[in-house]
Structure 1
Amino acid sequence: MSDVFEGYERQYSELSANLTKKCTVAGALDGEQKKQKISEIKAAIDDAESLIRKMDLEARSLPPNIKAVLLAKLREYKSDLNNLKSEVKRLVSGNSYSSARDELLESGMADTLTASADQRGRLMMSTERLNKSSDRVKDSRRTMLETEELGVSILQDLHSQRQSLLHANNTLHGVDDNIGKSKRVLTSMARRMSRNKWIIGSVIAVLVIAIALILYFKLK
């Protein structure tokens, strides 16, 4: 909920209550006193319209979820202000205390005032419900932020684990390379040993043959 909007809202509620009282008082006056009171009421209505416009601008500058809640409240305030304007028009159209009183009774002005009071009661109830809705929106937003923070933390942990796995993978590749090199060295050594065996066998065979020839010639 916007603190600026709530400030305008409190000002309007106080101004609306004062306007209702002034309309009731003006209905009982006559002559110059009535004209002066009506002038005060008109000035107060101008102030109320200014507050309505400020609330409208403030509500439309907020995020969509909050704006919808505030615009719903604003429609109720506009309806309340229109009722007050209607009361002022009826006061202006009256010529005397008795005619104003008769018009008030005949046209149902008292019912209008009562309806306005009832409407303000409904406005207060609606405001309470909207405030509760705003609190739920705030709770949902806070939960969403907490979930987002948890998701970021999980992603960071996953990134750290990924780096660890990549490091382990690189280490395994190094081990594989070393094993391959060792295998090639052992294969080369085996080949050399095999070749050396053949060489030694050939030398032994030559020596045996030479010894046999020497013994043969000596004995002969």
Structure 2
Amino acid sequence: MATLIQSYEQQYSVLTADITSKIGRLKLGNEDNRDQVTREIQANFEEANDLLEQLELESRGGAAGSRVAAYRAELQRVRDEYRSIASSAGVYTDAEDNFEDWTSNDQRQKLLDNTERLERTGKSLTEGYRVVLETEQIGAAVLQDLSLQRETIQRSRGRLRETDEQLNRSSRLMNSMIMRSLQDRFVLVMVFLVLGVLLCIGLYFYVT
């Protein structure tokens, strides 16, 4: 803020110097360029007053507030000088009405009210921006959680596939073992049958 106040003060100094120079030109000028110089001076007065209003808004409650009153007094003195020279030169000017309006308390109060509304709007925008950032952070966290959950589900699905494959291999192995057991039992039965037949034949020959 201090840098902005210094910038306004420097611009004001340049403007007042320019106004003083043009007042001298108006005093010494000819009939052809008086109207042009007058319009330039009035435009400079408006710009200087705008600068003082900005400076007053920026320096509220600060040390620069006392300097603003001095700047206004200086601008009023330059204005009086301009009016005197313009009157003696026969140049019409409506600066009196303009400056009375510029320095009115109602005008300054309106500017202050507008500034307060702008500050409130700025705070509302800042709060809205903060809410947007928080919402964005929450959304990013939710997306991250969903991504982690998706990875967990994919890993679980992969484990289920591996488990299913292992169960299939185990089932095939069990079926193979059962078939081998049945084959072994069949062989044993056949062996016992052959032995029984041989035993019966042997007994028959033994008895006869």
What's the TM-score bracket when you normalise by the shorter of the two chains? Answer: 0.5 to 0.7
CA positional deviation for 1:174: 1.7
**Structure 1 counterpart of 2:34:** none
**Structure 2 counterpart of 1:55:** none
Amino acid paired to 1:95: S
Q: Structure 2: how far apart are the matches of 1:176 and 1:146?
A: 45
Aligned length: 159
CA positional deviation for 1:186: 0.3
- How is 1:75-94 mapped onto 2 (pairs within 5 angstroms)? 91=83, 94=86
Residue 197 of structure 1: SS of its match in structure 2?
helix
Structure 1 unaligned segments of length 5 or more: list them.
53-86
Q: Percent identity?
A: 23
Q: 2:188 aligns with which of 200, 204, 219?
A: 200
Structure label with greater radius of gyration:
2
**Structure 2 counterpart of 1:42:** 41
Structure 2 unaligned segments of length 5 or more: list them.
29-36, 52-78
**Structure 1 counterpart of 2:133:** 145
Amino acid paired to 1:7: L
Contact 2:42/2:95, CA 8 A, preserved across alignment:
no
Q: Structure 2: how far apart are the matches of 1:173 and 1:92?
A: 101
CA positional deviation for 1:133: 0.4
Amino acid paired to 2:109: G
Deviation string, structure 1 residues 199-218 (Cα, Å, up to 9, x no partner): 11111111111111211222
CA positional deviation for 1:153: 2.1
- Give TM-score, length-normalised by structure 1: 0.54
Q: Structure 2: how far apart are the matches of 1:195 and 1:92?
A: 134
**Structure 2 counterpart of 1:161:** 149
CA positional deviation for 1:139: 1.2
Q: 2:168 aligns with which of 180, 189, 193?
A: 180
How well do the aligned residues superpose, as a CA RMSD in angstroms?
4.7
Contact 2:101/2:107, CA 8 A, preserved across alignment:
yes
